[in-house]
A and B are shown apart, each in its own frame.
Chain A
C-alpha cells in the first residue's frame, strides 16, 4: 500500500520525537523528513516531497505560518497540518489564510492526530465546526474580486455544486447522495477542484471559494 509520506517540523526535539513515534506506529504512514525550523521545513519539503507536512506554529527562523505560506506557494499539492499551542481564533484565521488544511492542538491525543493526517490526505476537512463559522466570516471577498472571476470561469457547473456542498460540511458520501452521483465521481470532482484551485484540501478550497465570493456564508450552515 502506498504509505502517506509525512514531514514533521517542530523546534522541540522531544515533541518531534513524540509525534514521530505516534505516526510511525501506523502501518500506512511514513516519516520522510524532520525539520527544526521553518526554513528547514520548506527546504526539506522540496527535497522529500511529502503528502502531508505537520508544522508547529511557533518555530524560530521563519515561523509556522510563514513556512505554510511558502510551502503552499512552491508545492501546492502538499497538505499542511499545523500544530499549535494556542487555539485562538486569531491564529486560526492566519493559518487558513496561509493555506493550512487544518490545525490541531499539540496536546491532542495520538488517535486524533492519526485520524487528522488520514483525513487531510484524503482531502477531507479538519476544521473544527465550532471554529469554522466564526473564522470563516473573516474571509470577505474584496469588492473588485467580486467583479472579476466568476466561478464558472474556473470551475465547471458540477464542480461548483460539489464545492458548495463540501462547504456546507457534507462528507463525500453525503455529496454523492445529494447529487445522485457515485462516491468515486465525487472524489474525482474534488480532485479536479483541488487541482484547478491549486489547493490540496477541502478547507483550502472552501477558504478560496469564500474569498472569491463564489460561496457566501449563507451557503454554509
Chain B
C-alpha cells in the first residue's frame, strides 16, 4: 500500500505527467467537438494519408501513450493507454457514424500503443545492456593492461609454469635472473634451473601446495643460470586455479645471493674479530705474568733482602726500603688482578667451572653482590672456543648485573647434559625491558647483550633473556657441545 501511494505521489510530482494530461486534453477536445478545427498542415497530411479526421485523432492518441512509456515505463504507458481507451470509447459508442470501424481503430490504437511501448522499452534495455557490456569490456582490457605492466616491469622475477614444469609465462626480471630471454624461457622446463637438491625442495613445495598443506613462505632456493652459476633466491610460490582446478604454479622470486654473501662476510669478520680479541687478551695476560709479574717479584725480593739484610743500612734506610717493598707488593697485586681480569689463569689451567668459581668470588668481592655458583651434571672437557665463549658471556652477564640491576644476589647455574651445556645467570635486581626482537638489542644501546648474543651464535648456541621489572632477570646460554 505504501509503495503504490509513494509511486503515485512521485508520479504526480513529475512535470511530464502534467504535460501528458495536457496533450490528452488537447487531443480529446477536437475529437469530441466539431467546432474545433485542426491546423491546415495537419488537414493536408491526413488527407494525403487517406485518413479521416477522427481516425487521425485516434492515431494521435498514440503519442501520449508512447511518451508515458518513455517517462514512466510500461506501467505508465499501460495506464495511459487505458485512459486513452476511456477517452476514445464514448465517441465510438455514442457519436461515430461507423461504429465498427471506429471500434477497430480504437482497438488498434490501444494495442499499437502498448506494443510500441514494449518494443521501445526492450530496444532501450538492449541498448543499455550493450552499453554496459562495452564499458565492462573496456575496463577489463584496462585492468589486464595494468596487470600486464605490473607483471612485465616488476623488480622481482615472476614466472608461471604448468603442473609438469613447462614455463607458460615469464617477466623481464625472470629473464634477467635466469640469463635466458623471455622467448626461450617459455619453451623451457623449470627442471633446467634446478640442481638435484633444489629439485627436491621444489617438488616438496609443489606437493604440499597441491595437497593443501601449509608451506612456509617465502623460502630459499638455489637456481642455475644459463652460464652454470648458482644464485640464491628468496621465493614465494602459489597455485593458479582455473574454475577451482589447479592448473599452474606462479613463482615470485628475489635474488639474495649478494645479500647472503655480505651477511656471511660480516659473520666471518665478527668471528675473526672476536677470536683476535681473545688471543690479544691471552697474549697480554701471559706477558703480564711472564715479564711484568716476575720482574716485580724479583724487584720485591731484592728490596726485601735489602730491608731485612744486615748490610749496614740505617734504621731510616730500612724503614724506607720497607715502604718500597710494600709499594712494590701493591703494584704486584694490581698487576696480578689485571692479568686475571684479562684472562683468568683458572680458565686455561683448570677449566670452566673453576674459572666461573673465580668469577663468582671476584664479583662478590668487588660488587658486594652475593654470587653463588651451582653445577649439575658431569663436568667435562670442552673445546677451548666454547669454554672461553661461555666464560665471557657469563662475565658480561655479571657485569650487567653489577652495573644496572641493583641486585643483592646473583646465581650462576651450570647444567651439563649429554651433548649439551646450559648456563643461566639470575639476579634479584630491578629487571629491564626486553626489546621485541633480539636483533634490536644493538639498536637500543644494549650492546652488552648484543655482544653476548653474537658470541653465543658464533659457537652455535642460543642466548635467551627473561626479565620483568622488579622481579630480576635471567640470561641463559644454551649450546651443543
Contact = CB atoms under 8 A, between A and B. Distances in A.
A63 interface: yes
B298 A14 contact: yes
B329 interface: yes
Contacts of B298: 14-15, 18
A12 B301 CA distance: 14
Contacts of A111: 308
Contacts of A109: 304, 308, 325
Interface string B266-303: 00000000000000000000000110011111101110
Contacts of A106: 293, 297
B175 interface: no
B289 A22 contact: no
B289 A110 contact: no
Size class of the contact patch on chain A: 20 to 34
Interface in B320-337: 325, 328-329, 332, 336
A94 interface: yes
A110 B305 contact: yes
A55 to B, nearest CB: 14
B300 A107 contact: yes
Given A107-B329, A111-B308, A86 B336 contact: yes
Contacts of A44: none
Contacts of B305: 21-22, 110
Interface residues of B, number: 29
A91 B345 contact: yes
Interface string B49-79: 0000000000000000000000000000000
B363 to A, nearest CB: 14
Contacts of A91: 345-346, 349-350
Q: Which of A18, A107, A110 has the most CB of B within 10 A?
A: A107
A110 B357 CA distance: 31
Interface string A62-73: 010100000000
Given A90-B354, A90-B358, A58 B345 contact: yes
A86 B297 contact: no
Nearest to B301: A18
A106 B355 CA distance: 21
Contacts of A86: 336, 340, 345-346
A42 B275 CA distance: 36
Nearest to A83: B297
A24 interface: no
B358 A85 contact: no
Given A90-B358, A107-B332, A14 B340 contact: no
A85 B338 CA distance: 13
B290 A110 contact: no
Contacts of B301: 18, 22, 107, 110
A61 to B, nearest CB: 14
Contact of B336 (A58, A63, A85): A85
B163 to A, nearest CB: 68
A107 B308 contact: no
B361 interface: yes
Contacts of A58: 289, 345, 349
Q: Which of B289, B293, B308, B332 has the most CB of A within 10 A?
A: B293
Interface of A: 12, 14-15, 18, 21-22, 58, 63, 65, 85-86, 88-91, 94, 106-107, 109-111
11 contacts: A12-B290, A58-B289, A85-B289, A85-B345, A89-B358, A90-B355, A91-B345, A91-B346, A91-B350, A107-B296, A107-B301
Interface of B: 289-290, 293-298, 300-302, 304-305, 308, 325, 328-329, 332, 336, 340, 345-346, 349-350, 354-355, 357-358, 361
Given A12-B290, A94-B354, 13 more contacts: A14-B294, A15-B294, A15-B297, A18-B301, A21-B305, A65-B349, A85-B289, A86-B340, A88-B345, A91-B346, A109-B308, A110-B308, A111-B308
CB-based closest 3 A-B pairs:
A90-B354, A12-B294, A18-B301
